[in-house]
Amino acid sequence: MRVSRGFFFVALTMLFIISAEVRASDEAFIQGAKKEGALVIYTSMTVDQAQKLNDTFKAKYPFIQPSMFRAVGERLLTKIMAEAQAGKYDFDVVQSAETQAYFLKRKNLLAKYVSPEVKNIQKPFFDPDGYWAAVYMMPNVIGYNTRLVKRNEVPKSDEELLHPKWKGKIGMDHSKPEWFSWKVKRMGDEKGLAYMKKLGAQEFKLYSGLTILTSLLAAGEFPLVLNTYLHNVEDAKRKSATVDWVAQDPVFTKFQPIGVGSKAAHPNAARLYIDFMLGEEAQKIIASFGRVPTRRGIPTTAQGIDKLTYVIDDIGSGEDFNRYNELFRNIFGAPKS
């Protein structure tokens, strides 16, 4: 996504002004959170990692009792929308992929809150309107089984992915069309769709869920996974799985925004939690998981990712998302959602 420097300068200036006002009222947030005493977090982060962050938050603010509901992407969004239709607004904070954040903002289910920590977040990983900021990036990489494929054999280009030897031997998540949108736009619709049709003929092994795909990769079900998240592979590596990753440059990157619910029952606790998640302590914990923090100056344990150029694709609008999602599913034979 290309955004002018002037746009972000103006947006960032506005955010700094608002942040200064927020900092002046920190004590009011703390006093309000003490009265609330609770916090409901909806997240798509893995349970063990989210729990470690929540435990650290609770140690910092022992007067707040956090509770958590965890579901991935569309399932989390479906729960929120079903609750909203029933007049229920149970979540105080929601953390999920950028597609869900764009949607929730459009539906007026997020409240504007600019954390004083936003000044430390890399652009473009915060909303210029102040409704969300991202806690980490999710670079899309090619995962491979190191027992089945040597590193120098892993496809490094779009054309190499079309080689007949990979037919029927690549896994892919059929629920994530964002990389498809970015690639087609980058190539141009005519050339991009022609390429995707060739790629679709490679007979991908389709599953929903990158954690599942990474487990199958480690088990040797297929030698490659296209467009898995770097942190999935890094987590498997830490657990001694025979997997590794390579990335094209530039690397397409999704990210995980966090925002306050527009009807949060515990709004002060929610704001403290967002400050915490964007702060240095939590960002270092996130980096320890092999994830890529959005806060400047926090290194990740993933080797080599700092040398890559990150690019994102905003397909937050309903028509744009639906169009590319339909094309993606038709070309790759993915089941209808």
Domains in the chain: boundaries: 5-137+255-302, 138-252+311-332
pTM of structure: 0.81
Side chain identity at residue 110, one-letter code: L
To the nearest 10°, report the CA torsion of 35, 37, 43, 45. Answer: 130
293: helix, strand or coil: strand
Q: How far apart are CA 256 and CA 100, in angstroms?
A: 9
Q: pLDDT digit string (tens) for 172-213? A: 998 888 889 889 988 999 999 999 999 999 999 999 888 899
| Residue that has been written with the tokens 């992929």 in this structure | 97
Please indicate whether residue 124 or residue 296 has the higher confidence score (pLDDT).
Answer: 296
Q: How far apart are CA 303 and CA 125, in angstroms?
A: 22
Q: Which of 14-18, 37-41, 253-257, 312-316 has the lowest mean pLDDT?
A: 14-18
Q: How far apart are CA 98 and CA 82, in angstroms?
A: 20
Instruction: Dig out the tokens for 196 from the structure.
Output: 């995707």
Q: Which of 192, 247, 256 is nearest to 225 (CA)?
A: 247
Yes or no: say if 95 and 219 are a contact pair by the CB < 8 Å rule: no
- Say what the pLDDT of residue 175 is: 84
Domains 5-137+255-302 and 138-252+311-332 belong to one CATH topology: yes
Q: How far apart are CA 199 and CA 33, in angstroms?
A: 52
Yes or no: say if 244 and 234 are a contact pair by the CB < 8 Å rule: no
Q: Which of 258, 325, 239 is nearest to 45 (CA)?
A: 258
Yes or no: say if 43 and 17 are a contact pair by the CB < 8 Å rule: no
Q: Which of 125, 108, 41 is nearest to 76 (CA)?
A: 41
Name the average pLDDT for the chain: 88
| Sign of the dihedral defined by the CA atoms of residues 331, 335, 336, 337, in that order | negative
Cis peptide before 164 (omega within 30 of 0): no
Q: Which of 45-54, 67-76, 312-321 has the lowest mean pLDDT?
A: 312-321
H or E stretch covering 110:
strand 110-111
Q: ∠ CA(299), CA(304), CA(309), 5° rounding?
A: 90
Q: Which of 60-69, 140-149, 306-315 has the lowest mean pLDDT?
A: 306-315
Q: How far apart are CA 257 and CA 30, in angstroms?
A: 23
- CATH 3.40.190.10 at 5-137+255-302, yes or no: yes
| DSSP per-residue codes, 118-172 | GGGBPTTSB-TTSS-EEEEEEEEEEEEETTT--GGGS--STTGGG-GGGTT-EEE
Which CATH class for the 138-252+311-332 domain? alpha beta
What does the pLDDT average to over 30-46? 95
User: E strands of 30-109, at which residues?
Assistant: 38-43, 65-70, 93-95
Q: How far apart are CA 170 and CA 207, in angstroms?
A: 11
β-sheet bridge partners, residue 38: 65
Residue 65, pLDDT above cutoff 80: yes
Q: How far apart are CA 182 and CA 72, in angstroms?
A: 22
Q: pLDDT digit string (tens) for 322-336? A: 888 899 999 998 776
- Say what the pLDDT of residue 312 is: 77
Q: How far apart are CA 180 and CA 197, in angstroms?
A: 11
| Residue that has been written with the tokens 């996130």 in this structure | 286
